[in-house]
Structure 1
Amino acid sequence: MGGEDSRNPLRFSVLGPVRAWRGATELPLGARQQRCVLAVLLLRGGGTVTVGELADALWGERPPQSALGTVRTYAYRLRRVLGHDVLGPDNGGYRIDTRPCHVDAAECERLAAEAARHRADGRTEAALDALEAALALWRGEALPGLPGPYAERQRARWAERRLELLEARMEAALDLGRHDRVTGELAELAHEHPLREHFSRLRMLALYRAGRQAEALEAYASARRALAAELGVEPGPELRELHARILAADPALALARTATGTATRTAVGTAERP
Structure 2
Amino acid sequence: MRYQLLGPVTATGPQGPVPVAGPKRRAVLAALLLNANRVVSERQLSNLVWGNDPPASVRGQIQVHVSELRKLVGRDTILRQAPGYLIVVRPGELDLHAFDEAVTLARDELEAGRAESAAERLRAVLDTWRGPALGGVTEPLRALEGPALNKRRLSALEDFFDARLAAGRHVHTVGELRQAVGRHPFRERLHVQLMLALHRCGRTPEALQVYADTRARLASEVGIEPGRSLRETHLRLLRDTTEGAAADAPGRAPVADVPVAHVPIGDGPVAEVRGPPGCTGRWGSTRARRSPRASPPACWASRCGGPARCSPS
Bin the TM-score by the shorter chain: 0.7 to 0.9
Given candidates 76, 86, 96, the residue that maps to 2:77 is: 86
Post-superposition Cα deviations, 1:59-117, rounded to whole Å, max 9, x if no partner, equal 22221110011001000000001111111212231111101551111110011111122
Instruction: Give me the whole-angstrom Cα distance separating, in 1, the residues matched to 2:106 and 2:140.
Output: 31
Unaligned runs of 5+ in 1: 1-9, 253-274
Instruction: Give me the whole-angstrom Cα distance separating, in 1, the residues matched to 2:241 and 2:36.
Output: 47
Instruction: Give me the whole-angstrom Cα distance separating, in 2, the residues matched to 1:102 and 1:114.
Output: 18
Post-superposition offset of 1:248: 1.9
Instruction: Give me the whole-angstrom Cα distance separating, in 1, the residues matched to 2:179 and 2:92.
Output: 35
Post-superposition offset of 1:24: 5.3
Post-superposition Cα deviations, 1:105-144, rounded to whole Å, max 9, x if no partner, equal 1110011111122223222222222212221110001112
Structure 2 match to 1:76: 67
Given candidates 219, 223, 227, the residue that maps to 1:228 is: 219
Which one is further off, 163-172 or 138-147?
138-147
1:152 matched to 2:163 = no
Q: Secondary structure at the match of 1:129?
A: helix
Which aligned pairs between 1:1-274 and structure 2 lie closer than 5 A?
10-23=1-14, 25-99=16-90, 102-249=93-240
Instruction: Give me the whole-angstrom Cα distance separating, in 2, the residues matched to 1:210 and 1:70.
Output: 59
Unaligned runs of 5+ in 2: 244-313
Identity %: 37
Q: Quick one: which amino acid aligns to residue 110 of structure 1?
A: E
* Contact preservation (8 Å) 2:18, 2:72: yes
Which one is further off, 64-73 or 149-158?
149-158
Instruction: Give me the whole-angstrom Cα distance separating, in 1, the residues matched to 2:104 and 2:21.
Output: 33
Instruction: Give me the whole-angstrom Cα distance separating, in 2, the residues matched to 1:91 and 1:100.
Output: 25
Instruction: Give me the whole-angstrom Cα distance separating, in 1, the residues matched to 2:27 and 2:66.
Output: 11
Which one is further off, 83-92 or 27-36?
83-92
Distance 1:250 1:24, change over 3 A: farther
- CA-atom RMSD in angstroms: 1.7
Query: Could you say which structure has the greater relative contact order, defined with CA pairs below 8 angstroms and 6 or more residues apart?
Result: 1
Post-superposition offset of 1:251: 11
* Contact preservation (8 Å) 2:106, 2:118: yes
Q: Secondary structure at the match of 1:146?
A: coil
- Which of 1 and 2 has greater Rg? 2
Structure 1 runs, 4 residues or longer, greater than 6 Å off: none
* Greater helix proportion: 1
Structure 1 match to 2:249: none
Work out the number of aligned pairs and report it.
243
Instruction: Give me the whole-angstrom Cα distance separating, in 2, the residues matched to 1:251 and 1:199.
Output: 25
Instruction: Give me the whole-angstrom Cα distance separating, in 2, the residues matched to 1:122 and 1:45.
Output: 34
* Contact preservation (8 Å) 2:92, 2:98: no
